[in-house]
Chain A
Amino acid sequence: MSDIILETRNLTKHYGGVHALQDANFVLRKGEHVAIMGDNGAGKSTFVRQITGVEQRTRGDIIFDGKPVNFSGPIDAREAGIETVFQTLALADDLDVPDNLFLGREITKWNFLGPFRLLDYRSMREATLAGLEKTAVKIPNIRNSIRNMSGGQRQCVAIARTATFHSKLTIMDEPTAALGVQETAQVENIIRTLKEAGEPLILVSHNMRQVFDLVDRVVVFRRGRICANLDIKNEDISGEDVVAYITGAKTQAGYEDAA
């Protein structure tokens, strides 16, 4: 049993003639937190969309948890254990916290009733509390509808899904892009909690400070290719170095064809 949770080999996505992603070789180990950085249009989101099954790749392989996978959609990926926090929050405003956490995978009883099977509100509430406690997410009242919550609280609810469902891999696509300072701190705390719990994470972010605070490794995308794989925990790499890779001023040895 290897300790690699996710690997992509020559992952490629073309939109017509546009090569949005070209031969991406990427490895994520168990318990590892990796940031994906790059300019707008560098292929970060395209990369995430291929892994999460939102789009179908042009070619290449995705090996998740030791097995090659072909997700037909995001639901497939989620069932396999990849939980994604999207840039646009996938929350239903008029429902409360447990309802949102369990949307589409409700705990039910009397299942013979088909679509009219009963919701097990109590179990869902208890699992929600456990999940929120695990991530140290603080929400005054989980029975309030999401509509009346702040952006940070909503983002926390979205993230708490991952903890509730014991996912094998969490992907966050710019989770703090729309948040204030304090709310960002709250989300970052959750990410640290995930790290302590040994849950692997792919973080797409533009925030250099955040990346250096939180993750072990930075993978830089440029014009659809990976151009650097930087071990920021162990090597002496500065923010300027990363910017140089992002802008194309520098290319790491071994990734010359991305230049």
Chain B
Amino acid sequence: MADQTSHGIGGLTYDKSKRAWPNEANVFIALVLIILIFEALGQILPYMNGQSMLFDFNTNRDGTILNIARIKIVILQVSIIGIIALGVTQVIISGGIDLSSGPLVGAAAMIVMSFAQTELVNGNPNPKAVFGPWSFDLPVIIPILVGLAFGALIGAINGTFIALTRIPPFIATLGMFLICRGIAQWWTKGQPVSFPTEQYAALGAGMMPVVWFVLLAAVFFVIMKFTVYGKHTYAIGSNEDAARMSGINVKRHKILVYMIAGMLAAFAAIVLSSKNLTAQAGMGQFYELYAIAMAVIGGVSLTGGRGSIVGTVLGAMVFGVIQSGFTFIKLDAFYQLMAMGAIIISAVVLDQWRQQRAAMRS
């Protein structure tokens, strides 16, 4: 009894100082450390001649010290996969997994591009035309809507199978992985689709992918943190039975989560095909794995219930810095793949170790 009165009603208030150290802070520290490591490697490795990854001392003509060009490349590289990772983050938090996002990018890019083609290329008819004359020079909103609808449809199929048949998400989305690759190749019998309208080409031109990524990250940050949708996503991933007993429509919610993930992957396809001015059936190879890696590096727990959009954005930055860092220190591509794999495994192990420690402390 005496012990119970020691923390009375007074202790009930919201006390910021007692809050746990946020996982995102760890990811941020890791990001800074990794940047410093690559900086150091640039100085140490004999064949680098004291080059820097971030600081461009040689071409420091316009008075800036930061290597803006390289930083731009890093962010640009991760933006498109980052958009997919925003959706994958929600799926993983809800306790699922989405392996179909990479092939979905390929299929969506093919389909969208065929609605975004221009009639005349340098005065000649478009050599890559998929449909008849009606499909040329459509307003840009049409390919966008077609793409989002396709992504939503694929996501809804994923979600419906997972929610209603209770087959593991891994299997359902693995099947969809193959189906989407098939759709991408079947759409034009393997031919690339090219020559989009100017409006469409503007969607992914220059730094636009970064703009989309930042914008969507902000939107989904708010959605995951401040809306019922976000709360229920965490609840389902944390304890599905509790969520069901609390009156949450778990099936409907899961379908919605996969639909949003599908739409984000399709939007990534729009930005990617616009940036490249072409769509190919093989587009988005490994993107599903990279998107999952970004989320996991950012602290999203594969068992569901934990993680955040901020974490995934930071995870995407870590991913980008490591990838471009490897290129920077002239590590061959096959070593890069091996190292990436090792880093992903380490991130999960670290996360579990941290969780165990947190559980022991309390």
Instruction: Please give the residue numbers on chain A whose beta carbons come within 8 Å of chain B beta carbons, in ascending order.
Output: 74-75, 78, 86, 88-95, 99, 103-106, 108, 113, 115-119, 121, 125, 129, 132-133, 136, 138-145, 147-149, 182, 185-186, 189
Name A103's contact: one of B18, B226, B243, B306 (CB within 8 Å). B243
B338 within 8 A of partner (CB): no
Tell me the residues in window 214-237 of chain B with beta carbons closer than 8 Å to chain A beta carbons.
Answer: 223, 226-229, 231-232, 234-235, 237
B7 proximity list for chain A (CB < 8 A)? 138, 140
Tally A-B pairs: CB < 8 A: 119
A139 pairs with B12, CB closer than 8 A: yes
* Residue of B223, B241, B245, B306 most packed against chain A (CB within 10 A): B245
> How many angstroms between the C-alpha atoms of A147 and B234 in the bound complex?
13
> How many angstroms between the C-alpha atoms of A121 and B243 in the bound complex?
19
25 pairs, A vs B, C-beta closer than 8 Å: A78-B247, A90-B239, A90-B241, A90-B245, A91-B242, A92-B234, A92-B305, A94-B237, A95-B234, A95-B238, A103-B231, A103-B242, A103-B246, A104-B248, A108-B228, A115-B229, A125-B14, A138-B7, A139-B11, A141-B14, A141-B18, A141-B19, A144-B18, A147-B359, A148-B359
Residue in B closest to A141 when the chains form the complex, CB atoms: B18
A140 proximity list for chain B (CB < 8 A)? 7, 11, 15, 18
Known: A119-B226, A143-B14. A99 touches B239 (CB 8 A): no
Known: A115-B229, A143-B14. A148 touches B305 (CB 8 A): no
Residue in B closest to A158 when the chains form the complex, CB atoms: B242
Return A139 CB to nearest CB of chain B, in Å.
7
Please count how many residues in chain B sit with their CB below 8 Å of the partner chain's CB atoms: 40
Name A104's contact: one of B3, B239, B246 (CB within 8 Å). B246
B9 pairs with A138, CB closer than 8 A: yes
A141 pairs with B228, CB closer than 8 A: no
B123 within 8 A of partner (CB): no
Residue in A closest to B304 when the chains form the complex, CB atoms: A94
B11 pairs with A93, CB closer than 8 A: no
Return B2 CB to nearest CB of chain A, in Å.
11
15 additional A-B residue pairs with CB within 8 Å, beyond A74-B247, A92-B238, A148-B358: A91-B239, A92-B239, A92-B242, A92-B243, A92-B305, A99-B231, A99-B235, A105-B247, A115-B228, A136-B9, A138-B9, A138-B11, A141-B15, A148-B20, A185-B4
Instruction: Please give the residue numbers on chain B whose beta carbons come within 8 Å of chain A beta carbons, in ascending order.
Output: 1, 3-4, 7-9, 11-15, 18-20, 223, 226-229, 231-232, 234-235, 237-239, 241-243, 245-248, 253, 256, 305-306, 358-359, 362
B247 proximity list for chain A (CB < 8 A)? 74-75, 78, 104-105
A90 pairs with B227, CB closer than 8 A: no
Known: A92-B243, A94-B305, A186-B4. A148 touches B235 (CB 8 A): no
Return A114 CB to nearest CB of chain B, in Å.
9
Residue in A closest to B19 when the chains form the complex, CB atoms: A143
* Residue of B3, B20, B246, B358 most packed against chain A (CB within 10 A): B246
B253 proximity list for chain A (CB < 8 A)? 115
> How many angstroms between the C-alpha atoms of A78 and B223 in the bound complex?
28
B227 pairs with A118, CB closer than 8 A: yes
Known: A138-B11, A143-B19, A148-B359. A104 touches B243 (CB 8 A): yes
B227 pairs with A103, CB closer than 8 A: no
